[in-house]
């Protein structure tokens, strides 16, 4: 049986229409403007490394890459403040990544100035908070998420052994808001 030109054209148009229906998510598919939640990505000082965490290599590679882009101002940085979006000044950002404090120590009735250099430690980042938009296409049952921003989080301690909680450092917007 020979296929004529119209049959081939009809088949092509049908495939084209069907693929367009299951294409990228549209604004009508959006479930929410933002969902915010935190995920543990790994703690290099733990004796047992969970299989749910990023591998140590991938974790370091990812965090180093994204923080370098922040330092170069390729990705915008915002203060970690609820319900507000204030861009972080470069001087403040530079101070977060590297600063020197001075501690005074009493030695033989004389105070000595001791400089203490601090750098943002990638190993200290154990969680990421995500800000996402969620989409659901009911005709194809396709659920997708678009990460809008991430917030690196570090542990805060009550004492030497007890974790008090986690502190968000700043928001990094991935799509240059």
Express each pLDDT in 21-36 by its tens digit.
445 567 778 887 788 9
Residue 176 pLDDT: 61
Phi first, then psi: what are they for 76, rounded to 5°?
-75, 145
Q: What is the pLDDT of residues 85-110, one digit of tens each?
A: 899 999 999 999 999 999 999 888 89
Domain ranges of the chain: 27-173
Here the tokens at position 87 are 């861009």
Q: How confident is the model at residue 10 (pLDDT cuts 50, 70, 90)?
A: very low
Residue 86 pLDDT: 93
Percentage of the chain beyond pLDDT 90 is 50
Residue 4 pLDDT: 57
Task: State pTM to two decimals.
Answer: 0.74
């Amino acid at each position: 049986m020979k296929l004529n030109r119209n049959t081939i054209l009809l088949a092509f148009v049908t495939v084209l229409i069907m693929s367009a229906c299951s294409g990228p998510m549209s604004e009508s598919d959006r479930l929410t403007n933002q969902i915010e939640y935190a995920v543990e990505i790994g703690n290099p000082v733990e004796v047992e490394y969970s299989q749910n965490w990023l591998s140590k290599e991938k974790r370091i590679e990812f965090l180093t890459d994204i923080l370098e882009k922040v330092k170069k101002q390729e990705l915008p940085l915002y203060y970690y403040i609820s319900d507000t979006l204030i861009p972080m000044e470069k001087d403040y950002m530079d101070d977060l990544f590297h600063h020197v404090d001075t501690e005074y120590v009493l030695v033989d009735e004389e105070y000595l100035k001791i400089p203490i250099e601090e750098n943002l430690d990638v190993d200290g980042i154990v969680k990421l908070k995500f800000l996402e938009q969620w989409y659901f296409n009911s005709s194809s049952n396709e659920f997708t998420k678009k990460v809008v921003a991430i917030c690196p989080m570090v542990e805060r301690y009550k004492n030497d052994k007890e974790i008090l909680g986690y502190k968000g450092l700043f928001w990094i917007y991935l799509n240059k808001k």
